[in-house]
Amino acid sequence: MGEIDRRRQLAALVHSVGKYISRTARNIGAAPISAPLLRMLIKDLYHLDGEHTASAVFARLAAPIEAQKPDRWIDRCRVLLRKIDEIEPAVRRGDDDAVHLAATMAIEIDTLLRSAFEESGVRVNPGQKTQSPHRR
Amino acid sequence: MSIQGKKPKVLIVDDGDRYVELAHALLRAYTYATRCELDTVCWECAYRDGCALTHAHDWAETVQALAKHPDTDVVLLDLVFDLPPERLLLSKGHDLATSRQFQGIEILRRLRQAHPDLPVVLMTSSAELSFEEAAEALAVDEFVTLAGADTFDARSLGLLIERVVARQTTRQADEPGDYFWGQSSRLAKLRRDAENLARTSLPMVLYGEPGTGKSALAKQVIHRATGRAGPFVTVDLAAIPPNLVAAELFGTVPGAFSGAVDRRGCFEQARGGTLLLDEIGTLPPDIQRLLLVSLQERSFTRLGELKQRPLDVKLVAATNADLKSAVREKRFRADLYARLNPAASLVLPPLRERLDDLDGLMALFVTRIFADEPDRELLATYMKSAGLKGPIHARLTRGHSADRHASGVAFAISRQTCSHLHRYDWPGNVRELELLLTNAAMLTLFDALEGVRSGRTSGEANRRIIPLPTKLIRDLLEAGRTDGPAMGPPPEGNSVQLALQPAETVSGTMRHMERQVFEQLFEQTDGDFNAMANRLLTGDAPTNARRIRLRFNQLGLRARTLRKRRLSQR
């Protein structure tokens, strides 16, 4: 995988994991979470592509990037996603601490992915083919 | 949140439900352009779970939603659409994956053909969009905003929508408004011809005296009727030095000539849109040849390069000269004249030949003057000082029969003035009429403001109707004539020096300048109002002195204070 393909995969990670996992997380204030927002958060964390957890989608999309060149941000994201999976029952119950912890970690994942993408810095031409990162 | 009392209407175009869920949970100050027939808002709807009518998921549904909601204020458009091929807009030369990845850009392109100035917020960041083709499509679209990091932050997204809608509202207020067609059958035919010819790929030529509205016709009617997504660009060829015309039209690359830079010309700026070449009759002969070749080849090159660039503009040429005579006199190339499609030229009549439209035009201009800042601010100041409540707008009425209970302010024009204007020959055409009304309305409003501040005008009904003085209009018409006696240079010693001091409004600046004139004349004449009147006005001396004294007081100047100041300075 060349640099351009790597950047394409990173763009897919930013779009399909970073942006989507932090959708509800960015809108949770200090107050207890409302029922509609909790439903949205659960969807973001545990049904990210409608079916799989965020950690599973990340594992699929990050695999080719890691195979080419392992990086610390990949490890850090994996750790955060594992923690998010671990607290799933508490998040689903609407436990305040768990919800806020999960939201904080989701935003950190988005930030890590955006930084990695920006550091990759190669411009991409759409004429160059790549595998569709989006599957539902 | 509401802008001008109306909730903005938002259309969400997204293959999934993420944005609509977020909007319905957190952005409830808007109305939404859904495809549903129910009146209920989505978040209160009994059928909301699993409902697929909340927004548009692809291009076909976008078309349906916009047909149902033509009053949509802003579109929130996703970039990536993971849809089956039959629901995608497939772009030439792109594989399926790329088409999905750039579906938002394809939808935007289609959207622009039908809705050239509908604001679109693209729900992505420039980093994700760092793809050459997408960047190029967006660079020419001034109505697209990237949500960037605000994509999923509801508070920031709400502010962004507010800004976009407010910007569009301002932009629409800045537009000169719809073209005024009036009642004459001649204009009705012109309209049909203009709109029909606009839809063809042929060039168009507009003939008309100065001030008849050629540019307005090109921008407000022809460009809109073309349905082209690109911008409207106008270039006044008479205003450009002949040696710079080629660079202005075709652009340059470094090295083309000394000091040449990498610069797009008008043809590139107007790509995909309409280019108006105003005063085409003044085009230098060598540029006529270049233009002819470009029109024949449908391509051009920038000065200093060999690369052919496609000529993708609707070309409209305007002139007040007789091009046919110019061809006969060898001042204009016959082949270029033929290429400009002279058989389908449009002729705008002078105002003196459409006097039936005079009243309608006057009413339009009075309303338009105060629709924009800074003049709107002066009207707002007047209404506040006069204790008038309600929307800030102005209108024109004939005589004093205006509805005294209507909102805003009415400028009343007497029947005598109207008949005088109908007898005038309007050498400067519509432009002259607009300037006349602007000057008359502004000066009258300024006096009316002084009237309410000094307590001379009482009663709300009287304050809502401001008569436009017949004499003022006659004086302004006389001053605007170019065939009258020329004004000579000011007599020796009859001059003042002004210190310009920027104010928030034009009227504020003018008032400051006027005060300086009066103060200096007061100084120069030792406070003699007769002498001041002689320096400023012609006509009956005693009356003029009283008028000068009145204006002096209206400007807030006090003779006693100025005299004291003079004494202390000696």
According to DSSP, the β-strands at B299-300 and B346-347 are: unpaired
pLDDT digits (tens, 9 = 90+) for B113-167: 777 778 888 887 666 665 555 555 554 455 667 777 667 788 888 878 877 777 6
Using one digit for the tens of pLDDT, what is the confidence trace for B419-464?
889 888 888 888 889 888 888 888 888 888 888 888 776 666 677 8
Residues B204 and B333 both lie in one domain: yes
DSSP percent split of chain B into helix, strand, coil, nearest 5: 50, 10, 40
What is the total count of domains within chain B?
4
Indicate whether B400 belongs to any domain: yes
Same domain, B115 and B167: yes
The verdict on residue B97 lying in a domain is: yes
Is residue B418 located within the same domain as residue B371? yes
Chain A residues with beta carbon closer than 8 angstroms to that of B93: 127
Domain CATH for B23: 3.40.50.2300
Gyration radius from chain B CA atoms: 29
A125 domain-assigned: no
B232-236 and B274-278: which strand pairing? Answer: parallel
Give the pLDDT score at B490.
Answer: 47
Does B271 lie in the same domain as B234?
Answer: yes
Inside any domain, residue A82: yes
**Inside any domain, residue B474:** yes
Phi, psi of B152 (to 5 degrees): -115, 10
In a domain, A87, yes or no: yes
- When pLDDT is cut at 50, 70 and 90, the band that residue A124 belongs to is very low
- For B510, the domain range is 506-569
CATH number at residue B338: 3.40.50.300
In a domain, B374, yes or no: yes
- ipTM rounded to 2 decimals: 0.80
Of A34, A124, A134, the CB nearest to B100: A134
B314 and B192 belong to one structural domain? yes
pLDDT reading at B482 higher than 70 = no
List the single best residue of A26, A43, A49 to mutate versus B (max B Cβ within 10 A). A26
Domain of residue A76, CATH code: 1.20.120
- Write out residues 2-61 of A within 8 Å (CB-CB) of B: 11, 14-16, 19-20, 22-24, 26-27, 34, 36-37, 40, 50
Please count the structural domains in chain A. Answer: 1
- For residue B187, the SS3 value is helix
Q: Are residues B374 and B335 in the same domain?
A: no
Query: Is there a domain that residue A102 lies in?
Result: yes
How many A×B Cβ pairs under 8 Å? 77
- pLDDT tens digit sequence for B276-316: 999 999 898 899 999 999 999 899 999 888 888 999 999 99
Residue identified by tokens 């030529």 is B205
State pLDDT tens for residues B49-74. Answer: 888 899 999 999 999 999 888 889 89
Residue with tokens 């960047």: B135
User: Residue A9's closest chain B neighbor by CA?
Assistant: B128
Give the C-alpha separation, B137 to B170, whole Å. Answer: 24
Q: Does residue B489 form part of some domain?
A: no
* Buried/exposed B84-113: b ≥16 CB within 10 Å, e otherwise: eeeebbebeebbebbbbbbbbbbbbeebbe
The closest CB to that of A126, out of B96, B98, B154, belongs to B98
B251 shares its domain with B397: no
CB contact under 8 A, A40 and B25: yes
Out of A26, A117, A132, closest to residue B152 by CB: A26
Indicate whether B498 belongs to any domain. no
Neighbours of B338 (CB within 10 A): 12
- Contacting A with CB below 8 Å, chain B residues are 16, 18, 21-22, 25-26, 79-80, 82, 93-98, 100-102, 124, 127-128, 130-134, 151-155
Does residue B139 belong to any structural domain of this protein? yes
B488-539 pLDDT per residue, tens: 444 455 677 777 777 666 767 787 888 889 888 888 888 888 888 888 888 7
- pLDDT average, residue stretch B34-39: 88
Residues of A with Cβ-Cβ distance to B54 under 8 angstroms: none
Question: Does the residue B60 lie in any domain?
Answer: yes
A124 to B95: CB separation less than 8 angstroms, yes or no: no
Q: From residue B201, how far is each of B161, B204, B286, B453 by CA, in Å?
A: 36, 9, 25, 58
Kindly state the average pLDDT of the residues B252-267.
79
